[in-house]
Each structure stands twice: as C-alpha cells, then as structure tokens.
Copies of this chain bind each other. A is one copy, B any other.
Amino acid sequence: MSFRFEPRKLDGRARRGVLTTQHGVVETPAFMPVGTQGAVKGVPAADLEAVGASIFLANLYHLVLRPGIDVIEDLGGLHAFSGWQRPILTDSGGYQVYSLANLRQVDRDGVTFRSHLDGSPLRFTPRSVVDWQQRLGVDIAMMLDECPPWPCSEPEVEAALSRTTGWARLAREAWNPAGGALFGIVQGGIYERLREQAVSELVSLDFPGYAIGGVSVGEPLRERRKIVEFTTPLLPSDKPRYLMGVGTPLDILHAVQHGVDLFDCVLPTRNARHGVLYTRRGPLRIKNAGFRRDSRPVEDGCGCPCCRQASRALLHHLLRQGELTGTVLATVHNLWFFLDFMRQLREAIASGKTALWAARFDHDFAVSERPPPTDGS
C-alpha cells in the first residue's frame, strides 16, 4: 500500500506532517475543498490546482445517485472522471443519508433509504460503501457511520455508536489495502465516555487514519471544541487525524493546535455564493452597500486570481446581480484564503511559532468574524 503518513514536526500539540498517497503528496495540516458532485462548484480541476489545493473531497452519496459508480468506474475511476490527478478523499455518505435522504431505516447491517432526488430505494452497507469507494479508486475512503443529530440523548448516541463500531469491523474486513486508505470514524456525540469507547474500539482495528465525526451537526461552538480537545489526544500519534466538516478559520486554528491534520468544509465555497468573502480582518459581506464604490481588491496584497483582476465594487455588482462570474471570482478568493491560511499555519508549526501566529491571526480575524451559515452538504 502506497499510503503513508509522517508527522515531521510537533509544536505543542500542533503537527506538521506529510501524507503520501498513490496520487501524490499532501502537506498537513491541510484543507480539502468540497466537490460534492465530483467538482468544486464554479472551479474546474485545473483552476483548483492553481488556487493551491492538493486534495479535494467528493461525496459518495451524491456520486452513487448521479452519475452512478458503474459510470465512473467505466470511465477509469474518479480521477479520470473529474479531471483531477491529485489525491481525492470521498466521504462515505453517512452524513448525507442522515441529513438528506428520506424514509431512513437503520439495521445492524446497514441503512435503507430513499434518494432525495427521485425517491428511488437505496441501501448502503459497510461493505458496499467500501466496495464503491475502491471502484472509484480514491486515495482516502471513509467507512459508513451513523451520525446522530444534535441534540441526542446518551442512550441514543450509544446505540448508534454500537452499530457504527460493528460497521467499522465489517468495513475493515472488506477493505483491500492495495487501493488507498480506509479511515475509521470516531462517533460518540458530546459524551466523553462514548468518544473514548469509540476510539478504543476503532484503534483495535488498526485503521490507517482516523476521523472525528459527529461534529458540525448543529452543536454549539463550545461543545464542538470540547469534543476536539478531548478526542484528538486519544488518537494514535502516528496516524492522520481528520476533523469532518469543520469549519471556520478559527475552528481550524483551534483544532490544529490540538493535533488535527485534515479538514474539509463547504464554508469557503458556500459563503462565496452568498457574497461572504474572507480576509485576514474577518469576512466581508460584499453585497453591503458600503462596497459599491470600493476600488480595492477583496484583500490588499492577496495574490489570488480574483484579487489580481477584480475590485470589491465589481464583486458587489456581479453578486448582487446574480452573475455567475461573481460567484466564480468569490469562490476562487475564498478557497485561496483557506489554502493560504493552511500554508501559513504549516510554516508557523515548522518554525515552532504556532501559538504566536495563532494569537495574531485570532486577534486580526476574530474582531469582525460574524457567525457564518452552519455547515450542510
């Protein structure tokens, strides 16, 4: 198996590492742009590389529905299909089954539901989800998990965790290690006892990487951070750690400082579509009237393709008019912001200055950060 993770430098709990896959290397901590349907909304694969992405995330649930695993397999796998030649991670679709699908029935061996697109019946099992991701040829696959909503009582979370642990075993058995890496997913809600139990059971199955799931499901910021603080140190130090669906720059900064290596979130792309543009001094709501005559780029000194050609005034105009070009430019800027933020964070860790860099970033950014929309797809 060509999958390998090397944590190269520790600064406090923050880790600077290198993740090697059959489609290339990912410097960690890394942010993975979300391309649910096999493409990041508004950003073709070549442009995604140009903004600095080294890995992106696609979603198994959506790809199973459209265009179907057999279609992508016939075309040579997800890399050939998407036109993206670097590493790809697919989410198992567990989250989407719980957030999008209808008439969901969970049993010991999997979950049966109806497509949110046309109501057609579908069944996901721990084995089928592994099999599909291997047929897609992804570099990192996620096991099927049961992701309870928030709030959820301890007995309910425990019952879901018990099924998830059984699914982890089945997934691990079904996985052919010749093809990429399968990550285990730690569930357990806000309950430390259950998170601890989840880690212990998953680690005994020896996955090549571990994700913290069941976050960004509606819980308050404080709960999300407590889960990260409690769970991350329990995970093996020689395996990559992935915090699913998180988050804002400050969430990521917090989690990196507790030892998380991988992140994905729709915030940069979704917020771009709503006219929320990231800067070091917090997000701008570019559709506000104050930007109508603002000839500056979104961020002074930013080297992204958006800031090199467009003013705030142009973005204000285009996004208010619902023009596609506004969405494209805003998405490119926000992705660049997140990816550049991760790059700077990696440098800070490498030079042992994480705490200082984080304090500065937090100081500059936090003042004006407004609550962004919650995560979804």
Contact = CB atoms under 8 A, between A and B. Distances in A.
A314 B83 contact: yes
A314 B77 CA distance: 12
A88 to B, nearest CB: 14
Given A313-B81, A314-B38, A325 B71 contact: no
Nearest to A305: B46
Give the one of A38, A76, A328 with max B CB within 10 A. A328
Nearest to A322: B37
A309 B83 CA distance: 5
A246 B292 CA distance: 34
A180 to B, nearest CB: 21
A66 B81 CA distance: 40
Given A67-B313, A329-B44, A321 B75 contact: no
Given A81-B311, A309-B46, A310-B83, A324 B41 contact: yes
Given A313-B75, A314-B83, A43 B308 contact: no
Contacts of A76: 295
Task: Count the copies.
Answer: 2
A296 B327 CA distance: 28
A355 interface: no
Nearest to A117: B321
Given A39-B326, A44-B325, A75-B293, 18 more contacts: A38-B314, A41-B324, A41-B325, A43-B328, A44-B306, A44-B310, A45-B309, A45-B310, A66-B321, A67-B292, A67-B313, A71-B317, A80-B295, A80-B311, A81-B314, A81-B317, A83-B310, A324-B327
Interface of A: 37-46, 66-67, 71, 74-76, 80-83, 292-293, 295, 305-306, 308-311, 313-314, 316-318, 320-321, 323-329
